[in-house]
């Protein structure tokens, strides 16, 4: 019986690690693929989303509880709150492709769930950009009290997409300040990471 218990204590962490590693491998944007052969509206925005996805993937990888709770000043957001905000921004971007009003979740997600949901939102946006190149039909729509406000896709570019890039930089800065700098070898220019 004692041998069985010891074997279980040895193998359970290995199985757990393997499952976690497997999930991590399935998340998109660990690197950026080859660039398209032509410059089109959708290809340019597609590349922008790939750059955001790559930055987010590495900015949020392997954060500790200490990193997540870090904030540079009393009136700042914690890193966890910044990650939550980036998730909300990806929901706003995705809403244009779903042809529905922006509807932010009320529930609070943990770090791993936020990271996965955000990367999958970006993958959804990426895939939609490939199949829906006509931006003139896309809009971003909000409900404000009793009225509805709608804006063209242009506002996605200078709004949520640019804002998400801005906040990825904030996560990188915060994690450096909390003692867990970005992994060496992350190359946002090339879109690949060396070991």
Report whether 53 contacts 89 (CB < 8 A).
Answer: no
Rounded Cα distance, 86 and 104, in Å: 12
Rounded Cα distance, 75 and 65, in Å: 20
Q: What is the pTM of this model?
A: 0.85
Which residue, chain included where needed, has tokens 């971003």?
140
Provide the residue-wise pLDDT of the chain in tens; the chain has 195 residues: 655 555 454 444 444 444 444 456 689 999 998 988 999 888 999 999 999 999 999 999 999 999 999 999 999 999 999 999 999 999 999 999 988 999 888 889 999 999 999 999 999 999 999 887 788 889 999 987 888 999 999 999 999 999 999 999 999 999 999 999 999 999 999 999 997
**Contacts of 73 by beta carbon, 8 Å cutoff, 6+ apart:** none
Longest dimension (CA), the chain: 68
Sign of the torsion formed by the C-alpha atoms of 96, 99, 102 and 104: negative
What's the token pair of residue 105? 């979740």
Element of type H or E holding 187: strand 186-187
């Amino acid at each position: 019986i004692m041998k069985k218990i010891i074997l279980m204590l040895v193998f359970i962490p290995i199985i757990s690690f393997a499952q976690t590693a497997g999930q991590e491998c399935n998340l998109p944007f660990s690197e950026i693929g080859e660039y398209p052969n032509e410059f089109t509206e959708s290809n340019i925005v597609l590349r922008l989303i790939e750059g955001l996805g790559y930055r987010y993937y590495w900015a949020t990888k392997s954060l500790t509880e200490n990193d997540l709770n870090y904030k540079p000043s009393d009136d700042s957001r914690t890193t966890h709150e910044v990650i939550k905000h980036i998730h909300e921004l990806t929901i706003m971007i995705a809403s244009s492709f779903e042809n529905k009003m922006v509807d932010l979740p009320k529930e609070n997600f943990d770090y791993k769930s936020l990271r996965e949901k955000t990367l999958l939102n970006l993958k959804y946006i990426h895939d939609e950009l490939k199949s829906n190149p006509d931006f003139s039909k896309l809009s971003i729509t909000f409900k404000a009290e009793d009225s509805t406000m709608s804006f063209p896709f242009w506002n996605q570019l200078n709004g949520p997409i640019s804002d998400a890039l801005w906040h990825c930089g904030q996560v990188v800065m915060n994690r450096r300040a909390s003692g867990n700098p970005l992994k060496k070898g992350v190359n946002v220019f090339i879109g690949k990471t060396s070991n």
